[in-house]
Structure 1
Amino acid sequence: MNSELMKLSEVTTKIGSGATPRGGKEAYYSTGISLIRSQNVLDFKFSYDGLAFIDETQAHDLRNVTVEADDVLLNITGDSVARCCMPDKSVIPARVNQHVAIIRTDPDLAHSKFVMYALLNPLAKKSLLSLASHGGTRNALTKAMIENFEISLPQIDIQKKISSILSVLDEKIELNNQMNKVLEQMAQVIFKQWFVDFEFQNENGEPYRSSGGEMEWNEELGKEIPEGWRASNLEDYCEVITDGAHYSPKEVDDGFPIATVKNMSEYGIEINECKRISIEDYNLLVHNGCRPIKGDVLFSKDGTIGRVLNVLRDEEYVLLSSIAILRAKTQYSSIYLGILLKLPSTLKMIKDGFVSGSALPRVVLKDFRRAPILIPQNVILNKFDHIIGDLILKIKQNYDLNQRMSGLRDTLLPKLMSGEIDVSEIDL
């Protein structure tokens, strides 16, 4: 594959970043024109989490950084520097703030999606991170650094073929992510019907509360609950409430994964992103109870509070203390516990009553054990597990498939970019 090393300034029509509207966060709106910030730019994908909105006047002031559909977005400051993606078309028209750069390619010279993949190539990423670390106390990529950054560009038709191959994997990953969101919403709807509205099916297949099911007042919860249910606390529901290691073992190049909150994704632990520790340190932490097992519920308790994962199979990784392990007693449902902890009302209760610290908020486990919980009858929990279990398992299967496809994409990416895999004869 014949390629030419070219500066980004030679193959783009625009490179530039924006600004935060006067007034900062207080100037944002609940709807309006999207303002893309660094938290919205992940590697390979755009995130809607924390997407801000501005009004027409603010957008007019930022009109020189209007985002177009085929732009490449690059984070240029802070810990997320060098993260790169393209915007979702649904946020167009949008603007960027000062932490995100727009890279707009000349379509006759460079295919925009190819440029994104080129910047995500491990060698390019390493170079960008090295550039960003020079100079000030905070990682930053200047406009000049981006303009002078060189990428290897084959002919435009080859660029499009490489982009198409990698995009197939990314599109399948995104499809699975969307399916998981729908499945999780279904699980939450059923949970609310059963355990908030108390409309689970009675022995006649009718909704319990609206068909006259017996209710009784519970003083602890301050509301009526179905007869035979009870209010208690997490310590009563769980046989184990603990957390991971309270020290950081020495990192090694080839070893066993140790996970922190930042390694918790929506549906699993990002094993490939975890630091590695020696087998000796790993075995010690397993002995100390820092390895979750199938059926556990993980809860992020330090810094970022409230990420929740159900552990659906045994895997070889251990945890640091920022993640709590909750192990339900055998007669109770871990799926019920996991969904309960994800409820906004539960998270608010935890943050209001069991969090200490301002610089680094954290949940204190000895207090967390007293968190109130509604315990339904076992027969209801068993029925719920039977219905919801398949949904949760499908979510996990989709997540695992995405992990494999991400691994395949990450393996193919440098080989395609270097020409080790020749796509010239592939008919796409």
Structure 2
Amino acid sequence: MSFPRYESYKDSGVEWLGEVPEHWEIASLSRLFSIKAGGDVKTEFFSEFQTENHPYPIYTNANNENAVYGYTSKCNYSPNTITVSGRGEVGFAVYRDHPYDAIIRLLVLSPFGTGNCKFFSYFINVVINFSVQSSAIGQLSTQQISPYKVAFPSFEEQQSITNFLDCETVKIDALIAEQQRLIELLKEKRQSVISHAVTKGLNPNAPMKDSGIECLGKVPEHWEVCAIKRMTLLITDGAHISPETGGGVYDFISTKDISDKGIDFEGCLKTTSSSYEYLVRTGCQPICGDILFSKDGTIGRTVVIKEQRDFVVASSLIIIRPDSDILDSSYFNYLCQSSIVVQQVEGFVKGAGLPRLSIQNLLKVFGVFPSFVEQHSIVTFLDNETAKLDTLTTEAKTAITLLQERRTALISATVTGKIDVRGAGLS
């Protein structure tokens, strides 16, 4: 879809904005809006529930529509207001068309006169995102945002632009949502394929036996069902001390460094030689063939150590060393990703704020183990099948990125007057 440009333009006087339509105005945000910092919750009266006396939501995050309710020190912000994130998610603006009690950690922009706040929220996202990209802004204050320049047409044209963007962004957001649903379905399919292979095997005609475990059902007759600890040589966690990091040279890996792509050695903490040597002596160094299993925060994320490397791990990770005579590391890694292990682990997790899994509870988890030869066959099969699903997932994520870029570019071009959408028909 292509759109025409306006008939004539003028220099905006703003370097990043360049030319704008000749009939548009230029003004600073402080001329158009009252800009204040949001209120604070009085914690002694704080409640998770809406009350009769305080019926309006308190927004604590500009990119999160979840609301909480309670008594506040600053109340009753009017509707037709814009909120801008000041910390954590700098560069996100949201238009509010209803009243609310307070805003926490957000800036509140209330218009002085008439104007389409939805139009200005679109524009503010563009100007703030440009500012964030071109400078190291860690926190937006009222003083920082006040001088920002915005370009705008008449109220009627603002409304026309807003209607167009509302319509087009809804379409793009629907396409993004479809790709996100596809990613979830692929994730479910991936676990289903893994779970079936490591609990039922690859031979549909294999004789089956009752596993004796209700959630597992029947398994191939010649497979062994036992606690995973019986198939391993070592199950221990990492460092329970805070290692020295000043001038560190050795990799210190924690849960945050583990992902589906492997271990992030580039972004991890580094520890000193003395701390590294101590942690090696106390059993915090994995070896080739070990599996790392996350037990704090994000539970159950796993990775196989494919090559020997000098690094140590934090207490948030469990080191599992399979008995290489009877258990293939890659098979065990797939077993840990199966629904049968995931369900057991979830039942042992404690803590709401920071979920944790103890080693003692991991030792209670059972698995299903075929012969060593059959383990290899299952690994080969799953490597091929998961690679196909992972490719589809990557394609879906790429599509989302392109759609998000398209959305951003369309908003930017429209609210800065680079394209004229006044004649665009809305469908």
**Alignment map for 1:162-311 (pairs within 5 Å):** 184-196=187-199, 198=200, 200-202=201-203, 208=204, 211=205, 213-219=206-212, 223-253=217-247, 255-265=249-259, 267-271=261-265, 273-302=267-296, 304=297, 306-311=299-304
The 8 Å contact of residues 299 and 308 in structure 1, kept in 2 or not, is answered as yes
CA–CA distance in structure 2, aligned partners of residues 284 and 245 of structure 1 = 10
1:115 aligns with 2:132: no
CA–CA distance in structure 1, aligned partners of residues 126 and 107 of structure 2 = 13
Paired AA for residue 367 in structure 2: I
SS at match of 1:242: strand
Paired AA for residue 332 in structure 2: L
The 8 Å contact of residues 237 and 329 in structure 1, kept in 2 or not, is answered as yes
Cα pair distance change 1:235/1:253, threshold 3 Å: same
Deviation at 1:14, TM superposition (A): 7.5
CA–CA distance in structure 1, aligned partners of residues 59 and 121 of structure 2 = 27
Deviation at 1:244, TM superposition (A): 0.8
Q: Which moved more, 1:337-346 or 1:241-250?
A: 337-346
CA–CA distance in structure 2, aligned partners of residues 316 and 152 of structure 1 = 51
SS at match of 2:249: strand
**Alignment map for 1:94-109 (pairs within 5 Å):** 99=104, 101=106
Q: How many residues align?
A: 325
Deviation at 1:64, TM superposition (A): 6.4
Identity of aligned residues (%): 17
**Alignment map for 1:120-139 (pairs within 5 Å):** 123-125=136-138, 128=139
Paired AA for residue 338 in structure 1: N
- Aligned-CA RMSD value: 5.6
SS at match of 2:378: helix
Cα pair distance change 1:360/1:2, threshold 3 Å: closer
CA–CA distance in structure 2, aligned partners of residues 257 and 147 of structure 1 = 41
Cα pair distance change 1:35/1:358, threshold 3 Å: closer
Cα pair distance change 1:177/1:351, threshold 3 Å: closer
> Residue deviations 1:101-148, cap 9 Å, x none?
3788975996624523644777322xx3xxxxxxxxxxxxxxxx7322
CA–CA distance in structure 2, aligned partners of residues 116 and 64 of structure 1 = 26
> Residue deviations 1:310-368, cap 9 Å, x none?
2364455421112112233334343443344345653442354575x788664332452
1:389 aligns with 2:383: yes
Partner of 1:346: 341
Q: Give the TM-score of the pair, scaled to structure 2.
A: 0.54
CA–CA distance in structure 2, aligned partners of residues 66 and 269 of structure 1 = 47
Deviation at 1:191, TM superposition (A): 1.5
Out of 141, 147, 151, the position equivalent to 1:146 is: 141
Out of 362, 367, 372, the position equivalent to 2:366 is: 372
Larger Rg: 2
SS at match of 1:290: coil
Cα pair distance change 1:328/1:186, threshold 3 Å: farther
SS at match of 2:235: strand
Structure 2: give runs of 5+ residues left out of the alignment. 1-13, 18-26, 51-56, 69-74, 110-116, 152-178, 398-427
SS at match of 1:252: coil
Paired AA for residue 387 in structure 1: F
The 8 Å contact of residues 335 and 389 in structure 1, kept in 2 or not, is answered as no
Cα pair distance change 1:375/1:102, threshold 3 Å: farther
Partner of 1:131: none
Paired AA for residue 217 in structure 1: D
Paired AA for residue 301 in structure 1: K
Deviation at 1:268, TM superposition (A): 4.2
CA–CA distance in structure 1, aligned partners of residues 342 and 79 of structure 2 = 37
Structure number with greater CO (CA < 8 Å, separation at least 6) is: 2
Cα pair distance change 1:391/1:325, threshold 3 Å: farther
The 8 Å contact of residues 238 and 326 in structure 1, kept in 2 or not, is answered as yes
CA–CA distance in structure 2, aligned partners of residues 345 and 36 of structure 1 = 39
Deviation at 1:386, TM superposition (A): 0.9
CA–CA distance in structure 2, aligned partners of residues 150 and 225 of structure 1 = 63
Cα pair distance change 1:180/1:358, threshold 3 Å: closer
Partner of 2:319: 325
**Alignment map for 1:46-125 (pairs within 5 Å):** 74=85, 81-84=87-90, 99=104, 101=106, 112-113=125-126, 115-116=128-129, 118-119=131-132, 123-125=136-138
Partner of 1:168: none
Partner of 2:332: 337
